[in-house]
A and B are shown apart, each in its own frame.
Chain A
Amino acid sequence: DADVTQTPRNRITKTGKRIMLECSQTKGHDRMYWYRQDPGLGLRLIYYSFDVKDINKGEISDGYSVSRQAQAKFSLSLESAIPNQTALYFCATSDPQGALETQYFGPGTRLLVL
């Protein structure tokens, strides 16, 4: 079984709808991240969490919110989806005992906002 899972894998939604992307991990890592990837723009960090009580904004947090329900679960919500939020979304984890930049990624959620 995969260490980092994301659901759904694909999602089509309409402008103005609220949607949630979920991430679960079995690696036992405290640190979790949400990124989006757009063609030609590489990865951009949306939010990150270093433990259940610690949530931090990344470089592009506007229009997004997160919830860290447990050590193993980190959800990303789009409060009111807009077309420019169409992207590939990745969740990642890292080990507090290791280098922060050694991150383990999920398979991604492909989101299309119409």
Chain B
Amino acid sequence: DAKTTQPTSMDCAEGRAANLPCNHSTISGNEYVYWYRQIHSQGPQYIIHGLKNNETNEMASLIITEDRKSSTLILPHATLRDTAVYYCIVLFAGGTSYGKLTFGQGTILTVHP
């Protein structure tokens, strides 16, 4: 699975958009980008995933660059409850990563009042 690089920490004001970057320059054509988050001591929470096209759901938007070497998770209107560690994961859905999630260090997002 491709390695990802994320900033260690980011801050965001409540009500503003939070833009969390992820670099995955070694991604291959059949690897997906997944985002999860983990609020302190709670279970990880699935946010969104994508392959090539930008994706949006009720939680967030995922913007993937045309060369697929990086992506950005956007929380359009951050709230205090969005304070969490955000994990960007790149993997082939199936094969050797079959059902196995591996989280790196992630980005600690702190939303301020």
Residues of A at under 8 Å CB distance from B? 4, 31, 33, 35, 42-43, 45, 48, 50, 58-59, 88, 90, 92, 94, 99-108, 110
Contact = CB atoms under 8 A, between A and B. Distances in A.
Contacts of A110: 41
Nearest to B99: A100
Contacts, number: 60
B68 interface: no
Q: Which of B32, B42, B91, B99 has the most CB of A within 10 A?
A: B99
Contacts of B42: 107-108
A104 B99 CA distance: 12
A60 B49 CA distance: 27
Interface in B83-98: 89, 91, 93-94, 97-98
Contacts of A108: 41-43
B100 A107 contact: no
Contact of A43 (B32, B91, B93, B103): B103
A100 B94 contact: yes
Contact of A102 (B43, B46, B97): B46
B8 to A, nearest CB: 13
Q: Which applies to chain B's interface (DSSP): helix, strand, loop or mixed?
A: loop
B73 to A, nearest CB: 15
Contact of A100 (B98, B103, B104): B98
A100 B102 CA distance: 13
Q: Which applies to chain A's interface (DSSP): helix, strand, loop or mixed?
A: strand
Contacts of B32: 99, 101
B29 to A, nearest CB: 16
A101 B89 CA distance: 10
Contacts of B43: 4, 90, 92, 105-108
Given A88-B41, A99-B32, A99-B93, A104 B46 contact: yes
Interface string B99-110: 111111100000
Given A101-B49, A101-B89, A42 B102 contact: yes
